[in-house]
Structure 1
Amino acid sequence: MRPIKILLSILLVLLVVAGVFAWRLPADVGYRYGAHLLGPFALTGVRGTVWDGHADGVSLLGNDLGELDWHARKRPLLGGELVADVRIKGGEIDIAGLMTRHGDGSVSAEDLRFSVPASMVEPMIGAPDVHLLGTISGVLKDATLWTASVRNATGHARWSGAGVSGAVEARFTDLLSEFASQPDGSVAGTLSDDGQGEVAVNGRYSLHVPLISGEATLAARNGDPQVLEMLRHIGTPQADGSSKVVVEGRMLKAL
């Protein structure tokens, strides 16, 4: 019996040591062995622990987003899930919420609040001579990404200080959007203005990772001659004086 007791004691000590090591596992060590779990995201300047850490840089497919802070939850790991409160902040970018990587490889977001410069959307519209102005902010209430399919997504966004510059010059009042996932795995949304400006906007869009498409009708709300002249240079002029804008592109150039 004595050898068994000794063996059990050794195992107990090893478990305690392993637990302490895991509890204080350096974040850079964890990233070295778990980077493949982050998919298209890459980190630099990693420090702290795997539970509470910081990265000086986080990029998505080579697109720099800023710094990253995370606070991982320990209990979900027992069920094979990595759950963490994350915040990405850099310049005009501010993203924070709860992220979960499930055992099947899918990733979900909950109450993810975001604020990003509208210029980040420019690669989607495929018009290098058009630059987007303002800030897009909102809340992704819930979403699950599995391969190229987005499930259970709901949320809303506001484009503040909306405008375009470059080949055309235009300013709008705030634009509003509501979006939700569809049965085919895509995300569909609506786009409208807040009713306070001279340009009325009414549109819709569809995102099917990594492709995005959409169209919007722009009209002079009060028949302002200057607005009507501006609309002649945006999109395709319509018989009623409005203009139709059609967009097709990819979420990111590298996708």
Structure 2
Amino acid sequence: MFVVKKILLGLLIYLVFMLALFPARVALQLAPLPPQVNIAGVSGTIWDGSADTVSVDKRLLEQVHWQLKFLPLLTGKVTVDLTVGSRATAVSGKGLLSWSLSGVQAQDLRFEAPGSFLIGDARLPFRTKVDGELSVIVPQLTQGKPWCEALDGKVFLNHLSVNNQFGDYPLGNIQLALACRNGEVVLSTDEKGNGLGVKGEVTIGENNKLLVDAKVRETAEQPDDLKKALSFLGKSDNEGYYPIRYSGVIPGL
């Protein structure tokens, strides 16, 4: 009996070391990755590993590093401390991400990318081209239906510029607040968060439904093409605000 216990203990120790040192490269070879995902330059273990590049729908992430937490696994939750890129890369980010049967959670999430990274190959209406940089800070995110259960954060659109068949619109810097309302994602701004005289909110609902409820008035900081286009929005109110209304799906999706 003593010999059997020693053998079982030896097997247990062997399995623990095998699991702790299991190569990430082998794990990814065994994983059924979607065809639009391509991972290269994988090193380390499944617990502490990295990849030189991760490509998702032609969107490239560089210098991806992860640390898988052990204790949350005991409660049925996969928790990863994730880092993407650096100051030298176009896309960078970090945060604590968790997944369980109840959905995805995130804490202290930061993400920075050029606008072209998010738009990808999507064709925007009116031959629109968007240039600028995106910065997202999310202290807390809990997935829910249709999108969220809890959400707190900010979105910064820096050096935003829009060009289409109607003109050039250098919009500058815009700050938006992120929140969750009845399971829908809400982005809101006011005139303190932009120099465009815009205030209102955008709601993203089920099936990529987009609802814009905002208004804008002329300011000295607005580009000339935008000032000329304000009258096409309708009649201004007593305070000089023109309505901005849209209900449909997210353009390009």
Which TM-score tier does this pair reach, normalised by the shorter chain?
0.7 to 0.9
Q: Alpha carbons of 1:83 and 1:159: their partners in 2 closer, same or farther (altered >3 Å)?
A: same
TM-score normalised by structure 2 residue count: 0.80
Aligned-partner Cα distance in 1 for 2:53–2:221: 49
Determine the structure 1 residue equivalent to 2:75.
Answer: 79
Determine the structure 1 residue equivalent to 2:189.
Answer: 191
Q: Alpha carbons of 1:235 and 1:125: their partners in 2 closer, same or farther (altered >3 Å)?
A: farther
Q: Which runs of 4+ in 1 moved over 6 A?
A: none
Contact 2:112 2:136 in 1 (8 A): yes
Give the secondary-structure state (helix, strand or coil) at the position aligned to 2:190. Answer: strand
Contact 1:85 1:97 in 2 (8 A): yes
Q: Alpha carbons of 1:235 and 1:128: their partners in 2 closer, same or farther (altered >3 Å)?
A: farther
Q: Alpha carbons of 1:144 and 1:223: their partners in 2 closer, same or farther (altered >3 Å)?
A: closer
Determine the structure 1 residue equivalent to 2:171.
Answer: 172
Give the secondary-structure state (helix, strand or coil) at the position aligned to 1:20. Answer: helix
TM-score normalised by structure 1 residue count: 0.80
Determine the structure 1 residue equivalent to 2:92.
Answer: 94
Q: Say how many residue pairs are matched.
A: 242
Indicate whether 1:31 and 2:28 are aligned: yes
Q: One-letter code of the match for 1:9? A: K
1:1-255 equivalences in 2 (<5 Å):
4-35=1-32, 42-45=37-40, 46-60=42-56, 62-67=57-62, 68-89=64-85, 91-102=89-100, 104=101, 106-122=103-119, 126-127=124-125, 129-146=127-144, 148-167=146-165, 168-183=167-182, 185-194=183-192, 197=195, 199-208=196-205, 210-215=207-212, 216-222=214-220, 227=224, 229-233=225-229, 236-240=232-236, 242=242, 244=244, 246=246, 248-250=248-250, 253=253
Structure 1: runs of 5+ lacking an equivalent: none
- Deviation, 1:52, is 1.1
Aligned-partner Cα distance in 2 for 1:231–1:180: 30
Q: One-letter code of the match for 1:106? A: G
Contact 1:115 1:135 in 2 (8 A): yes
Aligned-partner Cα distance in 1 for 2:124–2:158: 22
Contact 1:111 1:139 in 2 (8 A): yes
Aligned-partner Cα distance in 2 for 1:65–1:209: 27
Give the secondary-structure state (helix, strand or coil) at the position aligned to 1:47. Answer: strand
Aligned-partner Cα distance in 1 for 2:248–2:131: 19
Q: One-letter code of the match for 2:94? A: A
Q: Alpha carbons of 1:235 and 1:130: their partners in 2 closer, same or farther (altered >3 Å)?
A: farther
Percent identity of the aligned residues? 21
Contact 1:157 1:176 in 2 (8 A): yes
Q: Which moved more, 1:201-210 or 1:187-196?
A: 187-196
- Deviation, 1:129, is 1.0
Contact 1:119 1:131 in 2 (8 A): no
Contact 2:123 2:252 in 1 (8 A): no
The two structures, once aligned, show a CA RMSD in angstroms of 3.2
Contact 1:125 1:249 in 2 (8 A): no
Q: Alpha carbons of 1:195 and 1:142: their partners in 2 closer, same or farther (altered >3 Å)?
A: closer
Q: Alpha carbons of 1:100 and 1:127: their partners in 2 closer, same or farther (altered >3 Å)?
A: same
